[in-house]
Amino acid sequence: MPTLLSVNVGTPRDVSWQGRTVRTGAWKSPVDGPRMARRLNIDGDGQGDLAGHGGEIRAVLVYQVQSYQYWQKQLGRDDLTFGMFGENLTVDGLPDDEVCIGDRYRIGEAEFEVTQPRVTCYRVGLRLGEPTMASLLVAHHRPGFYLRVLTEGRVQAGDEITLTRRDPEELSVADTDALLYLPGCDPAKLRKALNIPALSPGWQQSFRELAAAQPPTQEPGWPAERAGAQQAGQAPGWPGFKPLRVARIVHETPTVSSIYLDAADGAPLPEARPGQYLSVRLAIGDAAPTVRSYSLSSAPTADSYRISVKHEPHGQVSAYIHATLRLGDLVDIASPRGTFVLEDGTRPVVLISAGIGATPVLAMLHRLAATGDPRPVWWIHTAHDRAHHAFADETHALLAQLPHAHEHIYYSAGAAPGLDEPHVTQGRPTARSLAAMDIPVDADAYLCGPPAFMDDLGGFLRDHGLSPERIHTEQFSALPAINPGVTPAAAVRPHQPPGPPGTGPVITFARSGITTPWSPAHASLLDLAEACDIPTRWSCRTGVCHTCVTHLLSGDVTYTTPPLELPEAGSVLVCCSEPTTEVVLDL
């Protein structure tokens, strides 16, 4: 008969780690006597990061004494005490390869339901002093599992554990964990996983993505941000950079110019999806080549791409493009990428932009017009004034080709004197003006512009009733960080790493505009990015969860800790890799 050996609790504490502060509830200790198991946790317990731990779905974590014994031998440790794996209940029995998702157990007065394997989190390694522990738990099929509390009640060491219901799919915790994190996904087991109502929503979503042959966007259980999906599969293209020829330059406004590019060898160009971008590498003066990303601003044809670049007052690259680039010049270009793309479907489409942010949604508008798409379309754009309104005539003509188009233009500096166009408004869009447009709540919205603009307009749309998962945003600066449990600090502009410069291959972080030589003083590319204060995205830090997956625009890497499953070609796990050549990362 399985038995409860120890009840372990601990409230969140601040732990110093790599110069940062981590808020974590991983430090748990055994308690004497009974404790109430409640809907959200056991009395006296708490979680430091509710995005990945805790809540009703993950109220109680279970780990087995047999796994403790296993790790004592594997790690050569004799100091492992109950609670050190972050578990609330240390049990004798209930092995991960026998307990199934959806099983129900009675322990003492309480009844529980198995909801998912342990989240692959770096904090278990932090607690044990074993940095690769998150990877080891998965690789050795000993993750442990979470419980939902179905019936609250007291539990204590010595309680017998009784199975009250076996889930009909009989998919074990170990198999569920391997299904997500290890290569060789078994389609039959995947179908089982999709039929288990008790499985947590985050894992259900990851398995739906697997079933659709898409890599999961990020670690199950972390907040669902579409920005995290930027690393998903890409349209066919070419590896690294190749030269394209400047075929045409068009001055759209006093500050915006469009650059048309074709293949230097006359070969056809791969078709990009509307909304994707090109990364451009330019050698300016004697400095190391600089990489910038620009959206494709029209529907690409087989023989040309178009990007449109605003001349920023202190922008070295944009100044070079505007002042120096000439017809016939060759420019190094990485193939189209990005997942801020127009999705197929029948739902209404809302395209919202400000300034040069119009470029990716303009490509979407080109596609809608070219195909005579019958979906209702709202085009909402903010510009400074008419003189600085790039693509005004172009977008007006495209919208005229659509059967159900709505055009709303805002000039923040005021409309031009004598301008009498009913679709032009002085000022900026507001919650009230958006509500007056009668945008359907089932619409797909695509936003591009300054971060504050996207935050405001996205909030207006959510308040109007649009689901957050249907509000898509694009930005070309570094993506918002995912650093679970790390106490936020004041934002610092990305910079060169401290200390003596390295002597290894040159590393370029394209989104952040940082180019710096590699130094073996850094444990990984992720470590180098953090030394530069570049916003980073990670969870396990050991090559399991793929939260850190990043586009590798050019170059080669090697893995210092081999990941349990390699990322897609053209991508790299920065948490456990270092360069072998010059590298350009979309970070």
**Per-residue pLDDT tens digits for 354-410:** 999 999 999 999 999 999 999 999 999 999 999 999 999 999 999 999 999 999 999
Residue 505 pLDDT exceeds 50: yes
Q: How far are the Cα atoms of 159, 258, 274, 291, 338 from residue 334, in angstroms, in the given order?
A: 61, 18, 16, 10, 12
In terms of Cα–Cα distance, which of 144, 91, 96, 90 is closest to 120?
Answer: 144
| pLDDT band (50, 70, 90) for residue 292 | confident
Q: Percent of the chain having pLDDT more than 90?
A: 72
Provide the 3-class DSSP secondary structure of residue 46: coil
Tell me if 349 sits within 8 A of 342, measured CB to CB.
yes
How far, CA to CA in Å, does 501 sit from each of 505, 506, 516, 517, 574? 11, 11, 8, 7, 20
Res 99 pLDDT > 90:
yes
Which pLDDT does position 218 carry in this prediction? 53
pTM summary value: 0.78
402 burial level (CB within 10 Å; 0-12, 13-18, 19+): buried
Longest dimension (CA), the chain: 86
Nearest Cα to 404, choosing from 433, 379, 370?
A: 379
What distance lies between CA 254 and its chain's CA centroid?
A: 36
Q: What is the dihedral of CA 396, 400, 401, 407, to 10 degrees?
A: 70
**Could you tell me the two tokens for 484?**
């679970």
Return the closest-CA partner of residue 292 out of 512, 466, 528. 512
Please say if the pLDDT value at position 466 is more than 90.
Answer: yes
Query: Could you tell me the pLDDT band of residue 422, with boundaries at 50, 70 and 90?
Result: confident
State how far the Cα of 397 lies from the Cα of 391, in Å rounded to an integer.
10
**For residue 89, what are the β-bridge partners?**
7, 62
According to DSSP, residue 525 is labeled H
pLDDT in tens, 136-150: 999 999 999 999 999
Mean pLDDT, the chain, integer: 90
224: confidence class by pLDDT, cuts 50, 70, 90: very low
Q: Who's near 128: CB < 8 A, 6+ residues apart?
A: 80, 84, 85
Both ends of the chain: CA-CA distance in Å?
A: 52
pLDDT of residue 227: 34
Q: Which two tokens stand for residue 578?
A: 């270092």
For the segment 149-200, what is each residue's pLDDT rounded down to a tens digit?
999 999 999 999 999 999 999 999 999 999 999 988 899 999 999 999 999 9
Q: Which stretches within 155-200 are classed as H helix?
A: 173-181, 187-193
pLDDT band at 488 (very low <50, low <70, confident <90, very high): confident
Q: What does the alpha-carbon distance between residue 353 and residue 361 come to, in Å, rounded to a whole number?
A: 7
Rounded mean pLDDT of 280-295? 85
